[in-house]
Chain A
Amino acid sequence: MASAVGAVGAAGHASTESGVWSWITTVDHKRIGILYGVSAILFFLLGGSEAFLIRMQLASADADLISSGVFSQLFTMHALTMVFLAIMPLGAAFFNFLIPLQIGARDVAFPRLNALSYWLFLFGAILLNSSFVFGGAPDAGWFAYANLTSSTYSPGDSMDYFTLGLLVLGISSLAAALNFVVTILNMRAPGMTLMRMPVFTWMALVVSFLLVFALPILTVGLIELLFWRFFDMPFFSAEFGGDPLLWQHIFWLFGHPEVYILILPAMGIVSEILPTFSRKPLFGYTAVVFAGVSIAFLGFAVWAHHMFTVGLGPVAIAAFSASTMLIAVPTGIKVFNWMGTIWGGSLDLRTPMLFAIGFIALFTIGGLSGVMHAAASSDAQQQDTYFIVAHIHYVLFGGAIVAVIGGIYYWFPKFSGHMYNETVGKINFWLMFLGMNLTFFPMHFLGLDGMPRRIYTYDANMGWDLWNGVATMGSLVLGLSFLIFIYNMVTSWLNGEPAEADPWDGRTLEWSIASPPPEYNFEEIPIVYDRDAWWAEKRGKVQHGVPVGGGSGEEEHSIHMPQPSYWPIVVSIGLIIASYGLVYNSGNFIVATIGLLVGIFGVYAWSFEPVNDPE
């Protein structure tokens, strides 16, 4: 038996260098990174289109473009798509591509697990979105507050798509996070101590730990929701002794760390771009790293700020007000250290740098409005109004997306081996900056004018027309800027000038190897003597002498690379079949069982697959 499976497994890594099959079976972290990135951008387009429809409906009072039911699906799916299918996988794309390069490794610790993460993400995303065509997408908000999600108030399959979609995506992220933790802790090049790691990799480590601790919480909640809907186990229904607030606690105990899961990679990206284009090291490296770590810790102690109005009592509310305000301290430390980095530098205002500076300007606004509603009593007038919508978009668009796009420009030469078009890039930035502020700044006014979130229509006498009109106009500009971005990426990837290894006079190890990097990344595993290892080496300014940590640093004579494998995609397909089976379970679990068996067989075959190079 074992040998039979072994034989099947061995067939699994028949590989070709290019073509679709090579991408399906790839375990190369760079290719997986690109797959993540391209898929996430496509989903970003989808989520953006959903947002655009929402903006069209709200552009004026009493509009009749979209029905209330469809509107609920759109705002629910917009949030789910942006959070789980765009920003998180964009983070994963950067982690995948960059972590091994920045720490001087040849791949991640578990290359096939990495492929599994990607395929589960892709299929989970498709599962979630397929609900649009199979009878309606989730429509109870991305936060899915009980008891609107019960089978009484949400009959039909939409909430089952929500639960199973997020469960699958959760498995994907959890596997990826564990992989990155192990990679970063175990595979750093000789001499790269933790405090010599590039800040981006540091933030990746922090985010991965956050995911490892936060995702299981969501998983517990989702399984309870699933059991409630399938088997009438009343975790969240008050009339049978459950508590709808339990869901809120669970969801936000995951949901607030999730905010940092979305923003810390962006902070890491900015902490790489600013030094490079200022030609100065990051100011206060240690402070920036520890600020990131303490943000992560505090992130688990503030969840109830999403629940200031549910009636927790004044003592709890006062405590969560204080803990939430506390987060502003490490966040402020980061902002001021970035300022310190550009201060006295020689700022090359190229596209990535513009995005990084734009990030600081916009994220500051989101941070300040965050402190404003940390004040619980004042928040009673802002919670669930457009003021909050403004806040999250300054943090997640002005923050996360702007930084990520800056990061894509910054590492584009490394990803693709080509230079992007600088002029188009600058137009991209300015349009995005303008569109972003036009769209989201007026939402502060709308919030103060009392406009609630998640309403599909409003009356002309509410006085919300003007700023809604401006916001919708802004979203047109934003959409245009995003199309320009895509145009720049596609044309540059096809026809851009070839990129040198180190076009920006970079500071970290990824700039020491060719663009794009060869499959094995480093011909010779580098030895690290300093922070900003590559900069130090280029300038011959190795300060600290002896390398620390394992590895011989001797030239390795043969390079062993992991073999391609199709088992990860087989396992993913099995789990997706199982999920569809559960959505349509109507009394029997046959399809779900078949799917699970496929998955189990995949894992079994996978573990018998020879890993070593056949030569």
Chain B
Amino acid sequence: MANLKNIRPKALLGLLVIVLLPILAACSSTDNPLTTISPKSDVARDIHWNYQIIFWFAVFVFIFVETLLLYAVIKFRRRPNDGIPKQVHGNTAMEITWTIIPALILIAIAIPTWITIFEIDDVPDDAYMIEIVGHQWWWEATYPDGQVTANEIHVPSDRPIGFNLNTADVLHSFWVPQLFGKQDIIPGRTNTLWFTPEVEGRFFGQCVEFCGISHANMRLEMIVDSPTVFASWLSGIDSPAPAAVSPAVVAGHDLFASKGCVACHTISGRNDAVGIIGPNLSLFGERLTLASATLDNNTENLTAWLKDPEDIKPGNIMSESAPIYTNPDLALTNAEIVTLVAYLQSLK
């Protein structure tokens, strides 16, 4: 064994790093909105099982190799009266050993991997299918009975949920890590994805395929509701927006048409608002977030969004092509924004 007194400080530093790394591996948190290590569905749990097996094998090999390396460096470092060491050219038995043992470890990893790959592949027949369309830079969801919503996708907690994934423009990738692994969305093909929820709650997601300038701001929320809550939410989309109540809401209702918002946005119950370039705003007043989950949905943020969407999401299609933002003469006044906010918040 190496005489510990001879270990130089830098070797100790190396030792420290090597011992610390696995400890640090515990440094990922399960509280983060996008955590990948806190599964909340059957599919996510399968993936996590697969991940953990591999993770512990990796930690084991890591410690083994790094310790061996460190030991060798300390033990065999040159000492003042070292001669020429024995000129060893190789050893067949050892070559075979360190070919076979890693191969066995890989088989031990491959088997659970294959099991998981096939297990999570097929969408179950009884899945509740939702159509997802990725747009630069927001998400559209269409339910089996035709209801449409955007960015905040509700699902019922009592059965498998499936998605058919399509894109309106470029590649995107659909990912809510606590519920399922990501699936890319490719023009010209329909990919599928599924999971069965295990708990109710809000789950965060994000587009993870680079899709242009506001890729970082293409986020989403998936809300797992109890079956009854889900049913009433869904029927809420169909029932027409409530009759205008306050004068501001009435004014906002009219501005929504006269300012051209209707060209791009649909609101159920309004025959004039059937645009499909932007998100469906039918239940917008109930939404928890805004602009594909980049902001909380409150008066302040909504005002900021209508004032200068470009500042919040660079390049977004609304600020790029809505006349109110491209033509300074048509720009919204603060008073108009107040009424529009009131109107949008009344959509419940």
Contact = CB atoms under 8 A, between A and B. Distances in A.
Interface in A289-345: 309-311, 313-314, 317-318, 321-322, 325-326, 328-329, 332-333, 335-337, 339-340, 342-345
Output the residue of B83, B86, B98, B180 with the most chain A CB within 10 A: B98
A285 interface: yes
B243 interface: no
Contacts of B106: 325-326, 328-329, 371
Contacts of A360: 69
Contacts of B181: 309, 377, 379-381
Nearest to A365: B62
A241 to B, nearest CB: 9
A310 B184 contact: yes
Given A314-B118, A321-B117, A368-B62, A349 B102 contact: no
A145 B330 CA distance: 37
Contacts of A285: 89-90
Nearest to A237: B187
A65 to B, nearest CB: 14
Top-3 shortest CB links A-B: A380-B181, A450-B34, A238-B188
Given A153-B170, A239-B188, A371-B109, A339 B76 contact: no
B187 A244 contact: yes
B32 interface: yes
A455 B192 CA distance: 25
Interface string B85-121: 1111111001100110011001001101110111011
Contact of A450 (B33, B69, B73, B215): B33
A444 interface: yes
A281 B47 contact: no
A137 interface: no
A221 B46 CA distance: 37
Given A311-B186, A375-B113, A380-B47, A283 B88 contact: yes
Interface stretch (A66-74, A103-111, A520-528, A554-562): A66-74
Interface in B37-70: 37, 46-48, 50-51, 54-55, 58, 61-62, 65-66, 68-69
Nearest to B314: A68
Interface stretch (B19-27, B234-242, B263-271): B19-27
A593 to B, nearest CB: 34
B259 interface: no
A328 B210 contact: no
B314 A281 contact: no
A448 B62 contact: no
Given A309-B181, A328-B106, A342 B117 contact: no
Given A322-B110, A333-B99, A344-B86, A309 B46 contact: no
Interface in B162-211: 169-171, 173, 177, 180-184, 186-189, 191-192, 206-211
Interface stretch (A84-92, A113-121, A204-212, A460-468): A460-468
A311 B76 contact: no
Contact of A284 (B35, B90, B211): B90
Output the residue of A140, A285, A345 with the most chain B CB within 10 A: A345
A348 B84 CA distance: 12
Interface of B: 10, 13-14, 17-18, 21, 24-25, 27-29, 31-37, 46-48, 50-51, 54-55, 58, 61-62, 65-66, 68-69, 72-73, 76-79, 82-91, 94-95, 98-99, 102-103, 106, 109-110, 112-114, 116-118, 120-121, 169-171, 173, 177, 180-184, 186-189, 191-192, 206-217, 294, 314-315
B117 A279 contact: no
A72 B68 CA distance: 42
B214 A369 contact: no
A340 B69 contact: no
A430 B10 contact: yes
A502 interface: no
Contacts of B187: 147, 237-239, 244
Contact of A372 (B14, B54, B73, B88): B54
A343 B70 CA distance: 11
A403 B99 CA distance: 24
Contact of B61 (A368, A451, A452): A368
A251 interface: no
Given A244-B188, A318-B118, A384-B173, A346 B85 contact: yes
Contact of A346 (B29, B82, B99): B82
B214 A333 contact: no
Contacts of B77: 347, 349
Given A245-B189, A346-B79, 19 more contacts: A69-B314, A145-B209, A147-B187, A280-B86, A287-B90, A309-B184, A311-B183, A325-B106, A346-B76, A364-B66, A368-B58, A372-B54, A377-B113, A377-B117, A381-B182, A384-B173, A449-B28, A449-B35, A454-B216
Interface of A: 67-69, 72, 140-141, 145, 147-148, 153, 237-239, 243-245, 278-281, 283-287, 309-311, 313-314, 317-318, 321-322, 325-326, 328-329, 332-333, 335-337, 339-340, 342-349, 357, 360-361, 364-365, 368-369, 371-372, 375-385, 430, 437, 441-442, 444-445, 447-459, 461-464, 467
Contact of A281 (B36, B87, B91, B216): B87
Given A69-B213, A309-B184, A441-B21, A378 B116 contact: yes
The B interface is mostly helix, strand or loop, or mixed, namely mixed
A345 B85 contact: yes
A441 B24 contact: yes
Contacts of B28: 444-445, 448-449
A311 B36 CA distance: 20
B120 to A, nearest CB: 6
A148 B208 CA distance: 14
Given A347-B77, A364-B62, A380-B181, A279 B85 contact: yes
B43 to A, nearest CB: 9
A278 B86 CA distance: 11
17 contacts: A244-B188, A278-B76, A281-B89, A284-B89, A284-B94, A311-B191, A346-B83, A364-B65, A368-B61, A375-B116, A376-B117, A380-B47, A381-B47, A385-B208, A430-B10, A448-B36, A452-B207
Given A372-B58, A449-B29, A310 B87 contact: no
Contacts of B171: 145, 147-148, 244
Contacts of A140: 210
